[in-house]
Structure 1
Amino acid sequence: MVSASGCLPDRYKRNEQSLQTDSSSNCSDANVPEYRHKLPVTPEEISNSIESATSQSTRYHYKWGYNVFSNCQKERRARPISDNLPIPVETITQSITEMEPCVRDTSLQYFLAEAKKTDGNDYPSAFFYHLFVAIQGQIRLSDPAVNLLTQSTYVKCRIVLDSMMKKKIRRGVRCRESKKGRTNLSLEENILWERAVIGSDDPPKLLETMVYLNGIHFA
């Protein structure tokens, strides 16, 4: 019904305004695309995701290997210049994570031949192997493509690693006997078998195995 003034009653005006608002809102919603996936992430968030993939305890282990290597470099630099002439200067001045592959391989060869514990004693074979793996882990944090254990670029440092592990067996360098030591001995033996440092494939290797086992059980 139209009022005398020719205008709609107030309640009709309100209904008409409400319909116009709803229509406008529906049109607006229709223009907004619906996204299936999450909001865009930042480079910092991606970096944090990569970092959190490696546990803190594992990072400490990697840092241990890196620090031992860096300490060996520092000691090398403190020695007479004549001691360092036969090797590239980069092997004792650059970070292991930044070296070119061929320089890294050379540097690791000398490190593996020279590294000792803080008390001056040799590392047992198992710990020596873990030291090598820890250094690889630190490198892979910045360059995941590096694999010291498989890539042909690092074949010479792997040969030195195996050679030094065999020497430690012959010299009777092994974990101290204790409850923890027995666990470490078992771990060490497993590593030596896996690395084929000990075995029964040929007479020399069988001899290495006998020396190692005699040292554990009868020394």
Structure 2
Amino acid sequence: MSDLGNFIIGDGGLDLQELSAINDFDFELFGISEDDINLSQIVDNLEVTGSVTDEDLTLSQICDTLDIKTENETENVTEGAASKSSSDARRFRDAVSDEEIRELINSNINLNTKKNTSWAFGVFEMWRKERDNVPEILAMTGENLNFYLGRFIVEARKRDGTEYPSKSLYLITCGLLRYLRDNDVTDKNILDANDHRFAEFRKILDSRMKDLLKRGIGGKTKQAEPILPEDEAIIWEKGIFGDKTADTLQCTMFFYNCKLFGMRGHDEHHALECDQFIIGEDSKGKYVEFVGRASKTFKGGLAQREIDIKNIRHYSNQGERCIVDLYEKYLQVLVSGKFYRRALPGTPPRFGNQPVGVNKLRNLMKIVCARAGLSGNYTNHSGKRTCATQLYIAGVDEQEIMNRTGHRSEKAVRKYKSADESVLRKVSSVLDPPQKRKCPENKTHQEEPTAKRATVPLSDISNLPTGSLFNNCQVTF
């Protein structure tokens, strides 16, 4: 559709033939024919005098003059317009059902969150069935919740009879609160400090957590270990990373997706698509760019509408192990679709159409480190901790570390940073007691008694002789 405003009306006027010659505008779409167009009506209503430029005469003005309703003014197009438009161009879908709404909500709940909620409720149900006359949690009043949850927190034990650590008790409490929310119980918030109905329960929970920590239960948190540069070099030297086979190339991509772009959970890796990676080049050099989507820490909902999606550009460091070249080679083999697909034997690297399973992705970092002979607690989180730790050791600003890892608070990213061995040794050396001084060779160190300092009573100062006390003296130090 061409804009009639691009036509210039001169002093000589404009006839209908000229208008028809330039218009690709389908007047029949609006239920009018060219016979209905009165050019003098257009000119008179627009008060055209002299020359009219494209800034003066626009399609919207002509539509107003002819009483044509544009899409911006109304969506009640005539039956002729509707029949002229494509038959399948429906603006709205069919009415949504309640079941579809529930499926939409449930599909966007994190799987680990669902498991934690189910676990917390399961522990409470097992305790409830062992006690007499304890009502179901959804049927409890506020007073019942305050009473029974306090007893449950004190009495809860693991299957082997040992006590839960304080963090686990808090997670159980959060899981029970989510269970209430999931079942539309919104008027009871057991962790809200302003809800005085549950003040006793919160005191019991707080005291129980303090007591456990005092007795040394749950004081140490097990964390994934970062892969230090010397360990990373070992993995390369043993041929576990590289581009010789599909397996080694895939292991390389997995590790550097964690290290360069801060990925961790197996679900985040499993959802990766090839089109999320872009190979490009600008004035700074060649790069691989990662465009993120929904993840564990970023869902893109109402609470995160002001947060930008992860978009990281990593520039090439040209050399034998150029990571951008490795990404480019991997993407050229896959072309499109899922980023992790079944590695096929042989050379050059080839991949099947079957996506790599969740179970293998969950343990892939552990498999890589075991092949390299590294001992320690290595999980998929090790890659992200490697990213934060190596940037921290290099003195990179904390904000830049957060941009890579995806953390939104300094407190969260500091849990991922670890000092390497050289830093720890330096700290230990500074804090160690001073070492005994070494004597020169062939000499025996003998401590000499400290000479007593001669003192002169103040009463005797007035009796000292006047004038020079020393004459022609030689002092040697």
Q: TM-score, normalised by structure 2?
A: 0.27
Give the match for residue 117 of structure 1: 158
Displacement over 4 Å in runs of 4+:
27-30, 175-180
- Change in 2 beyond 3 A, CA 1:138/1:27: closer
Give the match for residue 58 of structure 1: 113
Question: 1:28: Cα distance to partner?
Answer: 7.7
Within 1, Cα distance between the matches of 2:82 and 2:105? 39
1:141 to 160, 182, 199: 182
1:101 to 132, 142, 157: 142
CA-to-aligned-CA distance 1:36-95 (integer Å, 9 cap, x gap): 543321111112222223223211110100011111111123xxxxxxxxxxx3xx1x22
Larger radius of gyration: 2
2:169 to 108, 123, 128: 128
**3-state SS of 1:134 partner:** helix
Give the match for residue 130 of structure 2: 75
Say how many residue pairs are matched: 143
Bigger RCO (CA 8 Å, 6+ sep): 1
1:164 to 203, 208, 212: 208
Question: 1:120: Cα distance to partner?
Answer: 0.9
Question: 1:102: Cα distance to partner?
Answer: 1.8
- Change in 2 beyond 3 A, CA 1:114/1:38: same
Contact 2:213 2:219 in 1 (8 A): no
1:26 to 62, 80, 92: 80
Give the match for residue 282 of structure 2: none
Question: 1:178: Cα distance to partner?
Answer: 5.3
- Change in 2 beyond 3 A, CA 1:169/1:153: same
Q: CA RMSD in A?
A: 3.1
Q: What amino acid maps onto 2:170 in structure 1?
A: Y
Q: What amino acid maps onto 1:162 in structure 2?
A: D
**3-state SS of 2:139 partner:** coil
Give the match for residue 210 of structure 1: none
More strand by proportion, 1 or 2?
2
**3-state SS of 1:117 partner:** coil
Contact 2:212 2:218 in 1 (8 A): yes
Structure 1 portions without partners, runs of 5+: 1-24, 78-88, 183-219
Within 1, Cα distance between the matches of 2:82 and 2:210? 76
Q: What amino acid maps onto 1:42 in structure 2?
A: S
Question: 1:125: Cα distance to partner?
Answer: 1.0
Give the match for residue 190 of structure 1: none
**3-state SS of 1:97 partner:** helix
- Change in 2 beyond 3 A, CA 1:28/1:115: closer
- Change in 2 beyond 3 A, CA 1:102/1:29: farther
CA-to-aligned-CA distance 1:86-130 (integer Å, 9 cap, x gap): xxx3xx1x2213322221121101101111111111111111111
